[in-house]
Structures are given as C-alpha cells and as structure tokens.
Amino acid sequence: MLLAAYTLWSREIVRFYRQRSRIVGALGTPLIFWVLIGSGLGQSFQAAPGVPLQGGYLEYFFPGTLALILLFTAIFSTISIIEDRQEGFLQGVMVAPVPRMAIVLGKILGGTTLAVMQGVIFLALAPLAHVHLRDFGDLAYLVVFVSFGLTGLGFLMAWLFDSTQGFHAIMNLVLFPMWILSGALFPAAGAAGWVRAIMLVNPLTYGVTALQELLLNQATAWPSLDVCLAVVGGFAILTLVAGAILVAKKAN
C-alpha cells in the first residue's frame, strides 16, 4: 500500500515540476487578489476594538489569501484525476492489485504536498503585511490538514466528473462560495442570519478562523482554537474515508 501511494505521490510532484504554469496559477492569482483587494479596501476596513492591525486590511486578508492559495492548489492538482481517466492511466491503476486506499492516499498526499509548498512560499511574505508567525506547531498542523481536506474534497468532485469543463464549473459553484463564507473577506463572528448558519457548517470557516488567531493574534470565543483544530482534522479524515469508499464503489 505504501509503495503504491508513494508512486502516485511522486508522479504528482514530477508532473507539477513539468508544468510550471501551475505555479503561476495557484500562487499568482491569490497574490494579486491579496494586493488588489487588500489595497482597495484598506481605507474602508476597521479592526475590532482592542485588535490593532498595523497592516490594515492587507494584514487581515493575509490568512484568507493563504487559504485561497491552498484552495487553488487543490483545484489544479485534482484535475489530474480527470486527465488520467481520459488518458487511460487511471484504468490501469484501478485494475492493479493495490488497496483502493493507496490510490486515494497517493493522490491526496500529492496535492497536499504541493499546497503546503506554495503556502510556505506565501508565508515568507508575512512581514510585508506586518504578520508575525508564531505557534509553528499549530500553524504547520493547520496548513497541512487544511490542504489535505481541500485536496480530498477536490478529489471527491473530480472522481465524479469526466470533463475538466464540468469540474471547473462545479469548483466555481461550490469552492469559491465556500471560501468567501469562511471569514476570509469579513469576520465570521460578525455574520448573522442565514450567512452565519452557512458559515457554521462550512469546514473552511474553522481553518480560516484558526489561521487568523495564529497569524493575527485574534483570539475569538467562537469558535475556539481547539474546536477549529479538531474540525479541520476531522474534515481531512472524512474526505479521505469518503474518497476510499467512492473509489471502492467505482471498482465494484
């Protein structure tokens, strides 16, 4: 199982380095969003009392942009599942005498590795937004498991589609609203009504909230850091198990 998972993981890494344009798409687009939106809304944004932000909205938007980079990487990495199916590679993997969990684990770990790499690159820009990195253990946990969960979600969706066009349409319909309603653009604690209800059931809300607490030193009563860490880890495991069930069902 480990050998099969490692083989699929290494294939994703090699493919990434041969397609350098993916770096621009996954890292460049969110970076432009961060600069343009952060600068444009800088004069209109006011931090909560007792929570000074020297970098203004650019500082507040930093954790949300990090989550967007992880999201973009998940989208681009899981497209390979559709491409592998069209090229016949996936069919060869499916008939191989390897556990179905190895297929899911290898693919998701490949996307997770790429997301973590690009997330680390973006974190190097933290001083520009007056963001001070702290609690490296929890921060590493969040970056890894948020990446894993988003890649797992992308895997589930890509497995159900036969065309990249349909996949992109669903990604835009589901994942972008998921990111917007995560507290990336506006504080989750200030939402009310149906928006707050959606944010409560959105797993990415807990990832973004935890990133804000660690990167901006904004402790919130809702949800707490421990709850956020638990939800993020649980969501990652859930997508892995769901992916294994979906692949096994397809094989049968």
pLDDT tens by residue, 38-84: 776 655 555 554 455 666 778 888 999 999 889 888 888 888 888 88
pLDDT tens by residue, 73-107: 888 888 888 888 888 888 888 887 888 888 899 99
pLDDT tens by residue, 135-147: 889 999 999 999 9
Contact 235, 221 (CB under 8 A): no
Give the domain ranges of the chain: 2-251
When pLDDT is cut at 50, 70 and 90, the band that residue 204 belongs to is: very high
pLDDT tens by residue, 134-191: 888 999 999 999 999 999 999 998 888 888 888 888 888 888 889 989 988 877 766 7
Mean pLDDT of the chain: 83
Secondary structure of 38-58 as H, E, C letters: HHHCCCCCCCCCCCCCCCHHH
How many Cα atoms sit within 13 Å of 246 on the Cβ side? 19
Higher pLDDT, 97 or 116: 116
Identify whether 223 is preceded by a cis peptide bond (ω within 30 of 0): yes
Angle at 149 between CA 145 and CA 153, to 5 degrees: 170
Among 224, 206, 215, CA closest to 145: 206
Least confident of 9-13, 30-34, 38-42, 92-96: 38-42
